[in-house]
Amino acid sequence: MKDKVFITAALTGAVTPKDINPNIPLTPEEIAVDAYNCWKAGAAMVHLHMRDEDGRGTMDSKRFRKAVELIRGYKDCDVIICCTSSGTYPPVSDEERMRHFTEIPEIEMGSYDAGTFNWGCDVVFDNTPKFLESLGKCYMANDVKPELEIFDLGMMGNVKHYMKKGVLPPNPYYQFVLGVLGGMESSVANMKTLVDNLPEGAKWSAFGIGRNHMPMMFAALALGADGIRVGLEDNVMYAKDVPATNVMLVERAARVINEYGKKVATAAEAREILSLPPLKRL
């Protein structure tokens, strides 16, 4: 699998409104259609947030269930489903951030934001030690593989701590997030620092926010990433004055992987890379 790279499509996020880019999917129905079309374009995994009736981020487990059921309703689609645990603003309870993982067995992976920091120097992205321990235990109990989202180098130490405690599994998968104000800036040097601190055998992916998404994609491939992430959660423009769609961003990522001399991993191959079991239809 050394010549394979998988693509994750982060479809919507919790904040950006349609008036910035009308292609951002908001309803479970729109999210499911985009997930299916991104899978057809080459995405092995989709990263899901939900929005409420007003387009704001929500952790409503019913909306997660609806989107997951609609995605799994495409019988030819074996895309890996990864859901967020990041919460909303104003904050919701720890229990609400985790409820969908206990109620929806089709969720295969979940984000694990490995520390607290000042997101955008605007709000506190609060991931307390109590929450991180509870979330790790929730994932272990429900056979959900953590996507270890790393925004700064210190979070690597947090992950190591919880792995030693047995709260996180021993076969980690890291997602490096570069370019969020309050976290590490987007640069090749910063990405290499994170890669240099990976434990032996770890799998990893990376992405840059906004205009930095292309340089960080190239850097990730050059540094040997197992995956790259694209999508309207992270970047809403395809080029200057050209609004993106999720499918456009996945198609470009697939071309970049092929031009680099690698091959785009299927969902089945990505499961093998990530030590996930084969998809079982419930």
Look at the chain and report how many structural domains it folds into.
Answer: 1
- Residue 227 makes CB contacts below 8 A (sequence gap 6+) with 5, 6, 7, 8, 44, 45, 203, 204, 205, 265, 270, 273
Q: What CATH number is attached to the domain comprising 62?
A: 3.20.20.70
Q: Domain range spanning residue 185?
A: 4-273
In a domain, 214, yes or no: yes
Task: Give per-residue pLDDT as tens, 42-56.
Answer: 999 999 999 999 999
Residue 279 lies in a domain: no
All residues at 6 or more sequence positions from 97 whose CB lies less than 8 Å from its CB, including other chains: 59, 85, 86, 87, 131, 135
Summarised one tens digit per residue, pLDDT across range 5-45 is 999 999 999 999 999 999 999 999 999 999 999 999 999 99
Within-domain flag for 281: no
Residue 243 lies in a domain: yes
* Residue 143 covered by a domain: yes
Q: Is position 70 within any domain?
A: yes
146 vs 109: CA distance, rounded Å:
6
* Percentage of the residues of the chain whose pLDDT score is greater than 70: 100
Task: Tell me if 278 is assigned to some domain.
Answer: no
Tally the residues of the chain.
Answer: 282
167 within some domain: yes
The DSSP bridge partners found for residue 48 are 83
**117: helix, coil or strand?**
strand
pLDDT at 15: 92
pTM: 0.97
